[in-house]
């Protein structure tokens, strides 16, 4: 009896594998079911059956003794097709794991979310939602604003309703990045100003704002330590280069992030930088109006370079500058006010007026005014570029002015060269 049962079990396994394994062709031969006549292409009505005459699951034909019903184990259903399968069966068949679904939802835009783009609003509310999917849903009308189709660039207003279609439930939220206690303490001490809408900090030298290839320690990964009891994680609204120090503005809520981004786009935020440069520019003050473009990386990586005015790849870049002091015509202290926001704009513009920023290895010109001969005298080789002052309309009304003290290496250089920089003033909020 034992031998007979063993043979019967093995034959059953072979029959099931032969039944559900399909050849790897573009148009596999359809399975012939019980009651189907020769040459018949349409299947007879009624539930499918197994070769043993036992009715299987509705729609997919899984026999009740298959592995998910606790019967024969180890059967492989390698090439089974699922086209036309009853959706009710998908949740029962373990070979077809299903992602939990979220039902259609309607959200009302709050005051804090005013003027945010529709696609950015969707990504903030649904982490992991792809831009391509948002665009598709806007095109076919599955995402609606006040019941009507909307573009991804639509700016939202308080009181509007946004309909989000049914979708897969989001994955488990990413765990909060663990920050070294010393880094957390230093970052909190770097905060110069904070209120319910914004945080302003004095970014230290050498700290990247965002991650990238080979960059693990960066500011964006540490922002959770700057919540200060808020339910929202602070958001970056602009950037500083890794080696540039000084004022960095953060938004404490999604709505504030949208408002600040609009201010930067409209050039309504005034930024003032201090730099120590090699050489004394002539004239001592003026405006640099020089288009810039990005060029492929070489030994120094991707760089920004001057462009011709008719170059289609060039973008207009404007910087106002003023010489505040100089030392023996070899080094000068400049105040720089960018009117546009191109990548590495200040660094390339300073090279263009034959006054490269001290310590700028990426754009240094060793034969230009003996630019870096001063380093032999013992000055720091770190980049001497500092975001000194921000003047901006406050998102809650009024205005805000903030200043940041120089970093240690620039303080030492100022002392050596005899430059006298006033201490930063306390933040001023005007309502």
pLDDT tens string 52-106: 344 444 444 444 444 444 444 444 433 334 444 444 444 444 444 555 666 888 9
> pLDDT-derived band of residue 171, with 50, 70 and 90 as boundaries?
low
Q: How many domains does the chain have?
A: 4
Task: Kindly state whether residues 239 and 133 are assigned to the same domain.
Answer: no
Q: Where residue 191 sits, what CATH number does that domain have?
A: 3.30.2350.10
422 Cβ partners below 8 Å, 6+ apart?
none
251 Cβ partners below 8 Å, 6+ apart?
197, 198, 234, 235, 237, 257, 259, 260, 395
Task: Kindly state whether residues 425 and 294 are assigned to the same domain.
Answer: yes
Q: Compute CA distances 77 → 19, 24, 61, 81, whole Å.
A: 9, 13, 12, 9
pLDDT at 128 over 90: no
393 in Cβ contact with 263 (< 8 Å): yes
> pLDDT-derived band of residue 144, with 50, 70 and 90 as boundaries?
very high
236 domain residue, yes or no: yes
Task: Kindly state whether residues 358 and 280 are assigned to the same domain.
Answer: yes
Question: Quick one: tokens of 219?
Answer: 């500011």
208 in Cβ contact with 251 (< 8 Å): no
Task: Kindly state whether residues 299 and 364 are assigned to the same domain.
Answer: yes
Which domain range does residue 29 map to?
1-97
398 domain residue, yes or no: yes
Q: Is 146 a catalytic residue?
A: no
314 domain residue, yes or no: yes
Q: Compute CA distances 238 → 109, 232, 403, whole Å.
A: 24, 18, 17
Task: Kindly state whether residues 145 and 158 are assigned to the same domain.
Answer: yes
> pLDDT-derived band of residue 321, with 50, 70 and 90 as boundaries?
very high
Q: Given this model, what pLDDT does residue 116 score?
A: 84
C-alpha–C-alpha distance, residues 171 and 151, integer Å: 26
174 domain residue, yes or no: no
From the candidates 112, 146, 196, 241, which is the catalytic residue? Answer: 241
Of 168, 193, 209, which one is at a domain's C-terminal end? Answer: 168
For residue 293, the Cα-to-chain-centroid distance in whole angstroms is 23
Q: What is the mean pLDDT of residues 254-276?
A: 91
pLDDT at 293 over 90: yes
318 in Cβ contact with 287 (< 8 Å): yes
Task: Kindly state whether residues 349 and 201 are assigned to the same domain.
Answer: no
């Amino acid at each position: 009896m034992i031998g007979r049962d063993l043979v019967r079990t093995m034959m059953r396994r072979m029959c099931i594998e032969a039944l559900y394994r399909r050849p790897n062709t573009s148009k596999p031969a359809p399975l012939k079911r019980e009651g189907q006549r020769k040459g018949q292409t349409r299947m007879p009505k009624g539930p499918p059956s197994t070769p043993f005459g036992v009715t299987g699951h509705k729609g997919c034909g899984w026999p009740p003794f298959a592995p998910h019903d606790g019967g024969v184990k180890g059967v492989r259903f390698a090439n089974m097709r699922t086209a036309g399968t009853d959706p009710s069966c998908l949740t029962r068949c373990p070979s077809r794991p299903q992602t939990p679904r979220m039902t259609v939802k309607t959200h009302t835009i709050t005051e804090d979310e005013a003027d945010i783009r529709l696609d950015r609003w969707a990504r903030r509310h649904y982490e992991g939602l792809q831009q391509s999917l948002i665009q598709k849903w806007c095109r076919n009308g599955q995402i609606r604003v006040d019941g009507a189709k909307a573009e991804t660039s639509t700016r939202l207003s308080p009181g509007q309703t946004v309909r989000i279609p049914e979708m897969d439930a989001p994955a488990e939220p990413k765990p909060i990045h663990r920050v070294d206690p010393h880094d957390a303490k230093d970052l909190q001490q770097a905060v110069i100003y904070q209120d319910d809408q914004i945080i302003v900090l004095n970014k230290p030298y050498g700290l990247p704002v965002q991650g990238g290839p080979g960059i693990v320690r960066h500011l964006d990964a540490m922002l959770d330590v700057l919540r200060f009891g808020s339910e929202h994680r602070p958001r970056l609204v602009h950037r500083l280069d890794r080696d540039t120090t000084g004022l960095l503005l953060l938004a404490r809520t999604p709505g504030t992030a949208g408002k600040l981004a609009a201010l930067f786009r409209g050039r309504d935020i005034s930024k003032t930088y201090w730099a120590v440069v090699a050489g004394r520019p002539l004239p001592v003050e003026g405006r640099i109006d020089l288009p810039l473009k990005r060029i492929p990386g070489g030994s120094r990586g991707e760089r920004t370079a001057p462009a011709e005015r008719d170059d289609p790849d060039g973008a207009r870049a404007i910087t106002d500058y003023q010489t505040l002091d100089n030392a023996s015509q070899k080094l000068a202290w400049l105040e720089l006010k960018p009117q546009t926001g191109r990548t590495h704009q200040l660094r390339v513009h300073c090279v263009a007026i034959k006054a490269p920023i001290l310590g700028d290895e990426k754009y240094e010109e060793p034969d230009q005014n003996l630019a870096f001969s001063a380093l032999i005298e013992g000055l720091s080789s770190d980049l001497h570029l500092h975001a000194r002052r921000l003047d901006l309309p406050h998102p809650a009304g009024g205005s805000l002015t903030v200043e940041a003290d120089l970093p240690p290496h620039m303080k030492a250089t100022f002392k050596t060269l005899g430059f006298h920089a006033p201490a930063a003033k306390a933040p001023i909020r005007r309502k």
